[in-house]
Amino acid sequence: MKILFVAAEALPFAKVGGLADVASSLPAALQQLGHEVRLVLPHYGVIDDATCGVEPLIRFELNNVEVIASQAESHGVPVCLVRGGSFFSPDENSVYLDGDAANNRRYLFYCRAVLAMLPYLGWDPDVIHLHDWHTGVLPYLLAESSLASIPTLLTLHNLAYQGSGMNSALDEIGLPRPRHPLLKKLDSAGNALAIGVAYTTLLNTVSPRYAQEILQPENAYGLHPLLRARADSLVGILNGLDTDLWDPCNEHALIAPYDVNSLERKVLNKRALQEKVGLPIRDDVPLLTTVTRLVDQKGISILLAALFRLLIEHPIQFILLGTGSPEYEDAFGELADSFPDRVVPLLKFDAMLSQQIYAGADVFVMPSKYEPCGLGQMIAMRYGTVPIVRSVGGLADTVDETVGFAFESYEPAVLYDMLVYATRIYTHDPARWRGLQLAGMQKDFSWAHSAERYVELYQRAVTAT
């Protein structure tokens, strides 16, 4: 099949969260199955053209705005990067801009440019695979165009981000507002994501559990009536990982590469990590970590409260790698002030360092409020780092008692109890700990199975149109 991927982030070009991992590793997996995939991305100013091998492709006019399309490659998949007018200019210095209105305008331009570019590419996709709200308006524009027979699959990576106010962006450039019957009774009818859910041929979430959760009002951010109306077209497919990238054998990133047969070498990475971040080098002290965006979703408030108590009562070390809300960044700074030599907040985005942390830590904590899939816990398991997660969404689908620890209630005390329980096992029952590590490392987190499920969905979308 010919599959056109349209996303807002992909490695190695631009990454803010897990979407970037999926939008680079899934196309590669599909290509390995014998399908033809092309990936389109916005040509953000933050992309390092020289490092990413970006070269000119075509230029064309779209309503008096010049669209500049460039090309590159990722894992053997052809990539097309789009900018034009004032959108995605080289001067911008972040992937996402502040404020809905500015982002809505640029992603509306992006969707229009992608459709306008298709005839120039001389490549007719059998299906267009869209990702998140940034691409939500595309199925509507497609339905109104001469390309209306191409089916779409919209993947919902995170329902909290919806591109609110997209109708105003349409008004600004004189395009009619969508009139889909399913949007009529919705408060959030003008959201890019709502528009996408109404118009797309099929839709999916990035874990089976999240597909069920979002049908409930408390998890749907206002979209449950629409999602319920489309429940027959909604499935859940668990994300895979790029297992070449996230590999404890990777000599490139780690001081002491290891695998299931040499797990005893993991501690060498722990010592190197402790030394690197300035923690006392102690094999016996459990080293906990989290690598995350610092946003409410990730359960940062219960993590901070539980850690504070844990640090008072138990000899643990903790490393945070994350950026996000200034309040959370400050709170981790204060925790480090209260527990010097035991807490290290690394407030930056650093992919290489994240690999060293996944390898060097003993425990990975992910107490999310909600979690569409979550890659952190899967990556941690690949590295023999035992996950402690809240049992929601993809965390519930990937972590059970054979590989880690899961708790239900979103409360600091419950997380605290789980942290104490896990660190006790770490200290007093090394054989059981090792069993958890090995079971996690041996789980199959590759795309092999999930990529085939996507192909089934593409085929279903083609048949449906």
Residues that bind ligand ADP (CB under 6 A): 17-19, 21, 291-293, 321-323, 349-351, 354, 373-376, 379
Q: Which is nearer to ligand ADP, 121 or 295 (CB)?
A: 295
Q: Could you tell me the smallest distance in angstroms from the CB atom of residue 245 to ligand ADP?
A: 9
Q: Could you tell me the smallest distance in angstroms from the CB atom of residue 147 to ligand ADP?
A: 30
Q: Could you tell me the smallest distance in angstroms from the CB atom of residue 226 to ligand ADP?
A: 22
Q: Could you tell me the smallest distance in angstroms from the CB atom of residue 320 to ligand ADP?
A: 9
Q: Could you tell me the smallest distance in angstroms from the CB atom of residue 143 to ligand ADP?
A: 29
Q: Are strands 65-74 and 77-84 parallel, antiparallel or unpaired?
A: antiparallel
Q: Could you tell me the smallest distance in angstroms from the CB atom of residue 18 to ligand ADP?
A: 2
Q: Which residues does 286 contact at the CB level (< 8 Å), separation at least 6?
A: 316, 317, 362, 363, 423, 426, 427
Among 295, 302, 417, 437, which residue's Cα sits nearest to residue 367? 302
Q: Which is nearer to ligand ADP, 87 or 370 (CB)?
A: 370
Q: Which is nearer to ligand ADP, 190 or 236 (CB)?
A: 236
Spell out the SS3 assignment of the chain: CEEEEECCCECCCECCCHHHHHHHHHHHHHHHCCCEEEEEEECCCCCCHHHHCCEEEEEEEECCEEEEEEEEEECCEEEEEEEECCECCCCCCCCCCCCHHHHHHHHHHHHHHHHHHHHHHCCCCCEEEEECHHHCCHHHHHHCCCCCCCCEEEEECCCCCCCCCHHHHHHHCCCCCCCCHHHCCCCCCCCHHHHHHHHCCEEEECCHHHHHHCCCHHHCCCCHHHHHHCHHHEEECCCCCCCCCCCCCCCCCCCCCCCHHHHHHHHHHHHHHHHHHCCCCCCCCCEEEEEEEECHHHCHHHHHHHHHHHHHHCCCEEEEEEEECHHHHHHHHHHHHHCCCCEEEECCCCHHHHHHHHHHCCEEEECCCCCCCCCHHHHHHHCCCEEEEECCHHHHHHCCCCCCEEECCCCHHHHHHHHHHHHHHHHHCHHHHHHHHHHHHCCCCCCHHHHHHHHHHHHHHHHHC
Q: Which is nearer to ligand ADP, 17 or 257 (CB)?
A: 17
**Are the CB atoms for 243 and 382 separated by under 8 Å?**
yes
Q: Which is nearer to ligand ADP, 142 or 357 (CB)?
A: 357
Closest residue to ligand ADP using C-beta atoms: 18
Q: Which is nearer to ligand ADP, 11 or 457 (CB)?
A: 11
Q: Could you tell me the smallest distance in angstroms from the CB atom of residue 130 to ligand ADP?
A: 17
Q: Which is nearer to ligand ADP, 203 or 389 (CB)?
A: 389
Q: Which is nearer to ligand ADP, 231 or 351 (CB)?
A: 351
**Are the CB atoms for 223 and 188 separated by under 8 Å?**
yes
What is the distance between the alpha carbons of residues 451 and 458, in angstroms, rounded to a whole number?
A: 11
Q: Could you tell me the smallest distance in angstroms from the CB atom of residue 195 to ligand ADP?
A: 22
Q: Which is nearer to ligand ADP, 178 or 345 (CB)?
A: 345
> Which residues on neighbouring strands pair with residue 22, listed in sequence order?
none
Strand ordering across the sheet containing 386-390: 343-346, 317-324, 287-294, 363-366, 386-390, 405-407
What is the distance between the alpha carbons of residues 370 and 397, in angstroms, rounded to a whole number?
A: 13
Q: Could you tell me the smallest distance in angstroms from the CB atom of residue 134 to ligand ADP?
A: 14
Q: Could you tell me the smallest distance in angstroms from the CB atom of residue 348 to ligand ADP?
A: 6
Q: Which is nearer to ligand ADP, 346 or 419 (CB)?
A: 346
Q: Which is nearer to ligand ADP, 20 or 115 (CB)?
A: 20
Q: Could you tell me the smallest distance in angstroms from the CB atom of residue 173 to ligand ADP?
A: 30
Q: Could you tell me the smallest distance in angstroms from the CB atom of residue 339 to ligand ADP?
A: 21
- Residue 182 carries which side chain, given as an amino acid letter? L
